[in-house]
Structure formats: structure tokens, C-alpha cells
């Protein structure tokens, strides 16, 4: 990275550290990421997020605002908008900031992808072309839906590192046992598993309560938390009378149960002069997880950035966790989310 005026921490922030724009977290002892990552699932996605050309300009604003606030890490995937999310990042970055940008993308191991390492390497090269880069910072297995063994996937990831196509490798939605298996397989190649990306928020604390986060940290594996805003449910924007749009399958809860939690979040947000979204993201950071907060325009990016520069107190965390929430888990969640 071009700037040297930052302090870095390994895998996650210590419990007494306030996250700032100058704070960086080290993954696999190779890359430095911001304590808050911009998730780009919505960019280019027409099915869930109703992408259109007007939103292209707004997403560029989200990119620029994030960069100006020190949020220089972007998480995408080949499947997001069928590659359009990756193309967006390529369009939005400039020659002036290209060296400062950290890019994480993902490989979707469709069951019909059976020829490894070629299936993974060909997909990665296609992502690099869309991103207009020679190498990504983090390449992740998108979900545990592959028919080939974890050893086979690990060998393919190791080959990607050895070929210089990615600096580090990670997984997503892996269970604790699957994560440990991938870690052990990569260790045979002398490669550190950088991360496991799982859904984590105030509405889905399972990775914490199950001990999964602790097991990751024990092995030097960062935990990236997707849907930290519960697909909009933790922004304060939605209610029982104004429900979340259909199709947002993660973090589905009864809105009657959610309202008391949102009231507590609003009170804490007012106290710290930040948005409700900022409280949700700061909570995730306080739990040793790197949140992937989505932003579709400059205002949302500004609200996300409000998670930096302060830290919830222990008493406030206890208040937030005092509200019982019953998540709804359908077949898709159980099939996709092992972690």
C-alpha cells in the first residue's frame, strides 16, 4: 500500500482498539485490509437488488466516498451480477488510487465444475480480466457446494497462489470442521488460510455462539462477516408496516421481534452521533469480525463509515444482545451456510 501512516493488527482488532481510517488488519501475514470492507453484491445485480444504469452512478459515489474514508477493501464475486460487480470495480478505480485498493473476489464451485485445478484457475483468470488486474488480494471459495473434496479445492487454491494470480486464499460459509480441513490441507503447501466469510450480525450470532469465530482466530484465520446490516433490516429503514423487499433471504426475522432491538440501536446511535447502520457495523467489529457492509450510494457509504472512530462500550453491547431474536432458516440457508 502507498500509505504508511497506519497501525496494523493480525486477523482482528484487539478489544481495546478503536477502529479508524488508519487502522489495518493483516490477513495471512500478506495483505492489509480496512477494518470495514465494502461489500459489492448489489452492484450489477438485477434479481435481488434491481440494478439499473442510474444505480451505476450512485455506486461510483459509494466507491469514492468509501475510499475517501479509508475503506479501501472491496469484496466481490464472479456471480455478483454475472461478473458486472467486478466490472464496476474496474470502472470505478483510477490510476491514482489503483495501488491502494484491496480486492477480494470469489469462485463459485458449481457441482458441475469437476476439473481441478483448471476450473478454478480459468474462473480466476476471467475475474482478473473483468477486474483489469494481474492479481487479486484474496480469492475465496464462495460456498461448500463442491462435489470434489476439500483437498482437491485446497490444491487448486495453492496453485493459484503459486502462479501469482492471488496473494491469499479464503473460504466462505464453511463449517468449523470444513474450515479446519481446508486450513490443514493448505498448510501442506505452506500456505495460510486467510479467511472464512460467514453471515454474522446482531440477528445471526451463530458463528460466535458456536465457537466458530474463536476456532478461526486460534489458527490465524480472519472472519469476514457478510450481511452485517441483515440485508437492510438493521439500518432502521424497515418495519412491520414497511417490510424488506422480497428476495432478501439472509437474516430473515419477525419484524415484531426486531423493533425493540432497533429502538435500542437508535438510542445508542443518537448518543454517539452516528447512524443505526454505524451501530450495527461497529458491533460486528467489536466481536472480532471484519464486516462487509454493502453500499449502493454515497449516503449509505457515509453511514457505513460512521462505524469508524469510536467503539461500543461493554454495557452497550450487553444492551444490544439483550433482545431475543428468532432467525428464520429455510432450506437455502441450511444448504449454503455451514458456518
The domain of 282 spans: 7-336
CATH code of the domain containing 241: 3.20.20.100
Q: Evaluate whether residue 2 is within a structural domain.
A: no
Q: Evaluate whether residue 119 is within a structural domain.
A: yes
Q: Evaluate whether residue 101 is within a structural domain.
A: yes
What angle, rounded to 10 degrees, do the helices at 314-321 and 276-286 form?
Answer: 110
**Predicted local confidence at residue 236, as pLDDT:** 80
**Predicted local confidence at residue 2, as pLDDT:** 42
Q: E strands of the chain, at which residues?
A: 7-10, 23-27, 31-33, 37-39, 73-75, 102-107, 136-141, 166-172, 193-199, 222-226, 290-294
Q: Evaluate whether residue 216 is within a structural domain.
A: yes
**Predicted local confidence at residue 331, as pLDDT:** 63
Distance between CA atoms of residues 44 and 301, nearest Å: 17
Catalytic-residue membership of 80: yes
Distance between CA atoms of residues 236 and 232, nearest Å: 8
Domains identified in the chain, total number: 1
Q: Evaluate whether residue 305 is within a structural domain.
A: yes
Distance between CA atoms of residues 171 and 198, nearest Å: 9
**Predicted local confidence at residue 94, as pLDDT:** 83
Q: Evaluate whether residue 268 is within a structural domain.
A: yes
- pLDDT (tens digit, 0 to 9) for every residue of the chain, 339 residues total? 444 578 999 999 999 999 999 999 999 999 999 999 999 999 998 888 789 888 899 999 999 999 999 999 999 999 999 999 999 999 999 867 778 899 999 999 999 999 999 999 999 999 999 999 999 999 999 999 999 999 999 999 999 999 999 999 999 999 999 999 999 999 999 999 999 999 999 999 999 999 999 999 999 999 999 999 998 899 988 766 677 666 666 777 777 889 999 999 999 999 999 999 999 999 999 999 999 999 999 999 999 999 999 999 999 999 999 998 877 766 667 888 999
Q: Which residues contact 248 (CB under 8 A, 6 or more apart)?
A: 48, 231, 232
What angle, rounded to 10 degrees, do the helices at 118-131 and 84-92 form?
Answer: 40
Q: Evaluate whether residue 1 is within a structural domain.
A: no
**Predicted local confidence at residue 18, as pLDDT:** 97
- Which of 80, 92, 183, 226 is an active site residue? 80
Strand 7-10 and strand 102-107: pairing?
A: unpaired
Amino acid at each position: 500500500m502507498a500509505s504508511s501512516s497506519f497501525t496494523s493488527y493480525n486477523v482482528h482488532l484487539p478489544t481495546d482498539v478503536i477502529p479508524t481510517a488508519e487502522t489495518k488488519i493483516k490477513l495471512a501475514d500478506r495483505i492489509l485490509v480496512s477494518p470495514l470492507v465494502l461489500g459489492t453484491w448489489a452492484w450489477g445485480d438485477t434479481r435481488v437488488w434491481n440494478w439499473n444504469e442510474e444505480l451505476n452512478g450512485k455506486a461510483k459515489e459509494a466507491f469514492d466516498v468509501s475510499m475517501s474514508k479509508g475503506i479501501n477493501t472491496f469484496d466481490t464475486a464472479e456471480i455478483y451480477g454475472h461478473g458486472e460487480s467486478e466490472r464496476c470495480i474496474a470502472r470505478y478505480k483510477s490510476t491514482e488510487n489503483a495501488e491502494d485498493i484491496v480486492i477480494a473476489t470469489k469462485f463459485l464451485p458449481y457441482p458441475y465444475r469437476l476439473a481441478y485445478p483448471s476450473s478454478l484457475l480459468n474462473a480466476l483468470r476471467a475475474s482478473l480480466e473483468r477486474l483489469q488486474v494481474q492479481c487479486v488480494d484474496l480469492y475465496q471459495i464462495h460456498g461448500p457446494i463442491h462435489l470434489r473434496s476439500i483437498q482437491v479445492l485446497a490444491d487448486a487454491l495453492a496453485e493459484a497462489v503459486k502462479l501469482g494470480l492471488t496473494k491469499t486464499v479464503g473460504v466462505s460459509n464453511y463449517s468449523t470442521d470444513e474450515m479446519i480441513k481446508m486450513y490443514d490441507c493448505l498448510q501442506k503447501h505452506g500456505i495460510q488460510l486467510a479467511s472464512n466469510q460467514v453471515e454474522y450480525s446482531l440477528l445471526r450470532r451463530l458463528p460466535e455462539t458456536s465457537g466458530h469465530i474463536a476456532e478461526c482466530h486460534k489458527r490465524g484465520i480472519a472472519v469476514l462477516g457478510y450481511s452485517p446490516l441483515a440485508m437492510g433490516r438493521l439500518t432502521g429503514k424497515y418495519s412491520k408496516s414497511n417490510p424488506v423487499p422480497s428476495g432478501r433471504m439472509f437474516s430473515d426475522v419477525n419484524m415484531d421481534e426486531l423493533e425493540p432491538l432497533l429502538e435500542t440501536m437508535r438510542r445508542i446511535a443518537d448518543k454517539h452521533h452516528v447512524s443505526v447502520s454505524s451501530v450495527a457495523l461497529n458491533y460486528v467489529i467489536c466481536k472480532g469480525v471484519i464486516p462487509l457492509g454493502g453500499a449502493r450510494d454515497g449516503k449509505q457509504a457515509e453511514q457505513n463509515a460512521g462505524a469508524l472512530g469510536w467503539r461500543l462500550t461493554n454495557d452497550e453491547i450487553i444492551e444490544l444482545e439483550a433482545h431475543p431474536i428468532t432467525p428464520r432458516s429455510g432450506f437455502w440457508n441450511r444448504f449454503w451456510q455451514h458456518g
